[in-house]
With several copies, the nearest count.
Chain A
Amino acid sequence: MGLDIDLSVNIGGLKLKNPIMTASGCFSYGQEASEIFDLSLLGGVITKSLTYLPREGHPPPKVCETEAGMLNAIGLSNVGIVNFLAEKLPFLEKLDTACVVSIAGSTMDEYARLARKLAEHESVHALEVNISCPNVNEGGLEFGAEPGPAGKVIAAVKKEFPRTVIAKLSPNVTDIVEIAESVADSGADAVSLINTLVGTAIDINTRSFKISNVFGGLSGPAVRPVALAMVYKVVSNLDIPVIGIGGISTTSDALEFLLAGASAVQVGTACFIDPKAPLKIIDGLKKYMQNQKIYDINDIIGTVGNR
């Protein structure tokens, strides 16, 4: 009946039972999905990005469909750190899966304060630092678009948070490697990429923008080739572990990123169209490995081109 398949990976100190996580903003804080399947099957869960205070986010309409993708300008609507600790973390703590909290701030200090608060909770296994939200001024691209500020935010968070710190990078930059290098030098234990691409859409009948914020973030299958290229560039140029994100919907999609060198992947938009997409990918990985007679997922990672 074949050997056991080992899917576990270690990403800058964060141990995952398998390399499939759910992406920030595409899984809320987990409760909703737990009404559909057992979250403990996942490699890890990443929360909606938290700011210090609660945020309503942008007014509707916040989303629209595009060809094989979608635009969102949710605007970092979230419950804020205090409510998160009181209402959401207790639920996440009980899961047998890695709990990664995503944070976003409008100042360097906000990032640091979020990290300090979360450091107190051992059940927060890692932080993902969102310096790449394309549709808010706060907590977003102003830090992620340039290597200098990106590195500084990571250094500030790293000072406060003793466990794994992941920097989430924006694809809306000329040179992703330069940004990745800066956060790596500032102590990031891993990088995750990509956040969404800046995009927009117009309704030709009403002649108005389809989302209230005008610009939104493009995600979904449409962006996968862009994400994969950026992941491969970072992997090829730097030593830091990379978590791949962007349009991953099927086992084959996830494998593309693992083969390109990502140590793990996150499933975002696909959770909307099929809540069990992450589970199907985990099952699919096992089948692929069985067929290929590979028993350790680490023997797949980064093996594109050298068979």
Chain B
Amino acid sequence: MRKYSDYYPVIKKEILSPGILKFTFEAPEIAGLARPGQFVQIRTSDDYFPLWPRPFSIYDADKPKGHFSIIFKIFGCGTSRLANTDTSDKVHILGPLGNGFDPPAGQNKLIMAAGGVGLPPLYFLSRVSVENGYPAEMITFISGARTKKELFEDGNLAGLNMKLITCTDDGSAGSKGTVVDILQSELADDPERTVYACGPGGMLKKIDMIIMAKRLRGYLSLEELMPCGYGICSGCAVKTRPAENRGSTDDNRDYHLKRVCVDGPVFNSGEVIWD
């Protein structure tokens, strides 16, 4: 798959909530190829703070305009420096990267389980699925955060007319409970769903267990440290079960390493061996 590595300008900066920003870039080559679940590696400056570029999921891509956007949360050095980039400044972007989601197939209802800034790839997947004819009413989108001020939305999500459930751990907005809690109660109502999840590792692990226990189909999008993002360093490797071992518990005897950046970031439920 062709990938592009170049300097592209930031053309729009939006603040969605304190510390959560949406950036739009003009990068026709990348926007033209981007699929839901894929990501880009971004480097703000030519110096070495931080050394590695930082990975961000593609939130949306506008092929005709040649734009794509990301939504990110300010954590440390890399995201702070990105946040300080001015409109029209150029940043170094490599992408599109990763396997992306398989488009939903068949008649199953879908549940999107988005924890925090795990939302972007699931929004993109939902938007494209609906546009490709997947009935919006068959998609439930759970968007969760720890607390009200970490919840964010730019209006597009609501515009898709899916069943949208927001939740916060502390109940300060939306339902009270974690994404996992909500997912569980949704599955209690209707156990025949395909689950797509993206968020913190702890959340993904729990969701994976639920999916496996219920023998559903599910896809998890992982976040790992990424030196290169395009498969050359092996630094992002995670332990996975060989296909024949799925479901086995004797995981550490026989594992296979996969690179999150090229073999993922989307993995089948049951594939990843969690710590």
- State which residues 211-234 of B face A: CB under 8 Å: 224-225, 227-228, 230-234
- Which residues of the other chain, B, contact A63 by a CB distance below 8 angstroms? 225, 227, 233, 235-236
Cβ-defined partner of A60 (8 Å) among B2, B43, B237, B256: B237
The A interface is mostly helix, strand or loop, or mixed, namely loop
Closest to B224 in A: A60
A276 & B51 in contact (Cβ 8 Å cutoff): no
Closest to A65 in B: B51
- Which residues of the other chain, A, contact B257 by a CB distance below 8 angstroms? 56-57, 59-60, 77
- State which residues 228-250 of B face A: CB under 8 Å: 228, 230-239
| Bound CA–CA A36/B30 (angstroms) | 12
- Which residues of the other chain, A, contact B2 by a CB distance below 8 angstroms? 35
Cβ-defined partner of B92 (8 Å) among A28, A35, A274: A274
Chain A 29-69: CB-based contact to B (< 8 A → 1; otherwise 0): 00011011100000000000000000011011111111111
- Which residues of the other chain, A, contact B228 by a CB distance below 8 angstroms? 271-272, 275
Chain B 43-84: CB-based contact to A (< 8 A → 1; otherwise 0): 100001111110000000000000000000000000000000
- Which residues of the other chain, A, contact B234 by a CB distance below 8 angstroms? 25, 28, 57, 62, 74, 77
The minimal Cβ–Cβ distance linking B102 to chain A, given in whole angstroms, is 21
B233 & A67 in contact (Cβ 8 Å cutoff): no
Instruction: Decide yes or no whether A27 CB sits under 8 A from chain B.
Output: yes
Chain A 4-31: CB-based contact to B (< 8 A → 1; otherwise 0): 0000000000000000000001111000
- State which residues 230-254 of A face B: CB under 8 Å: none
| Bound CA–CA A51/B167 (angstroms) | 51
Interface size of A in residues (CB-CB distance below 8 Å)? 35
| Bound CA–CA A180/B92 (angstroms) | 39
* Apart from the given pairs A56-B255, A63-B233, A272-B228, 15 other A-B contacts in the complex at a CB distance below 8 Å: A28-B233, A28-B234, A33-B232, A35-B1, A35-B3, A37-B5, A60-B257, A62-B234, A63-B225, A64-B225, A70-B51, A272-B227, A273-B52, A274-B5, A275-B5
B interface with A by C-beta (< 8 Å): 1-5, 43, 48-53, 92, 94, 224-225, 227-228, 230-239, 255-257, 262
A-B contact pairs, 23 of them (CB 8 A): A25-B233, A25-B234, A28-B231, A33-B230, A33-B232, A35-B230, A36-B4, A56-B256, A56-B257, A60-B257, A63-B233, A63-B236, A69-B48, A70-B52, A74-B235, A77-B234, A221-B48, A221-B51, A269-B51, A273-B52, A273-B227, A275-B5, A275-B94
